[in-house]
Structure 1
Amino acid sequence: METSFKEIITIAGYAIEAFGVLVVIIGSCVSTFAYLRTYKKLHEGSAYKKYRQELGRSIILGLEFLIAGDIIRTVVVADSLENVGILALIIVIRSFLSITLHLEVEGRLPWKKEQVS
């Protein structure tokens, strides 16, 4: 019974990671098509800025799913101290990427409130 539970959790972890990859791919395609459709209609630079924001948001969301899949697979399936350390390193790297992407896209840190103009 334990083996089948671990297999199910492993598959679920990979499925969540695959969904994260799909989010990045689909988000990239949607962002690119929207940019190509509107880049001549908007002011110079604003289409590119909007494109970068939308592309960055899809990457950030995809990273969140990738982190979730890693956590599920590592904590439940690979329960050694070495694997938990590797997971911690992966989470630190991906969290750093998420924070820097958020700063790049939104122009503020994730925990700062949006300024009302």
Structure 2
Amino acid sequence: MDTFLEVIDAIALFIEVLGVAIIVGGFAITSWRFLHHRMFHEQRAFMHYRHGIARALILGLDFLIAGDVIKTVIIANTGQQVATLGVIVLIRAFLAFTLHVEVEGHWPWQDSRYLGAADGGRRDSPERER
């Protein structure tokens, strides 16, 4: 049983490290692209930069949540640790939710096809295609 728990702990740690690597790598790649853009002072280039960082954060947070869930549910499932996990997951889910709204320009439950996603979802009356 100890070997099983060690393997699960190693898997959870690997998933968490992968999440951190995604965040750091996404930030580095997006920053490099932004700084090497011919006209990085333009508003459009800055918005691409912000969206790239937000996407890396969202994906990295998903991996971090998965690692925490695996570690807490299988390895350390005391009441206090599960409560701590719940708070951590709520905070990370809230961050992912707000980042999604920032990047996509609409609520997650809204269909972007009907919001004019090409123009940032800023239409007052979306046209529905049927």
Q: Quote the residue 1:9 is aligned against.
A: 8
Larger Rg computed on CA atoms? 2
Q: Describe the SS at the equivalent of 1:110.
A: coil
**TM-score by structure 2 length?**
0.83
Identity of aligned residues (%): 39
Which residue of 66, 74, 89 corresponds with 2:72? 74
Q: Which has the higher contact order (CA 8 A, sep 6+)?
A: 1
Where do residues 77-88 of structure 1 align in structure 2 (5 Å cutoff)?
Answer: 77-88=75-86
Q: How many residues align?
A: 115
Where do residues 5-44 of structure 1 align in structure 2 (5 Å cutoff)?
Answer: 5-38=4-37, 40=39, 44=42
Shift of 1:80: 1.0
Alpha carbons 1:19, 1:65 under 8 Å: kept: yes
| Deviation readout 1:42-84 (Å, 9 max, x if unpaired) | x820000011001100010000000000000000000111111
Q: Describe the SS at the equivalent of 2:36.
A: helix
Where do residues 58-69 of structure 1 align in structure 2 (5 Å cutoff)?
Answer: 58-69=56-67
Residue segments in structure 2 that go unaligned for 5+ positions in a row: 119-130
Which residue of 89, 102, 105 corresponds with 2:103? 105
RMSD: 1.4
Moved >2 Å (runs of 4+): none
Alpha carbons 1:24, 1:59 under 8 Å: kept: yes
Residue segments in structure 1 that go unaligned for 5+ positions in a row: none
Q: Quote the residue 1:51 is aligned against.
A: 49
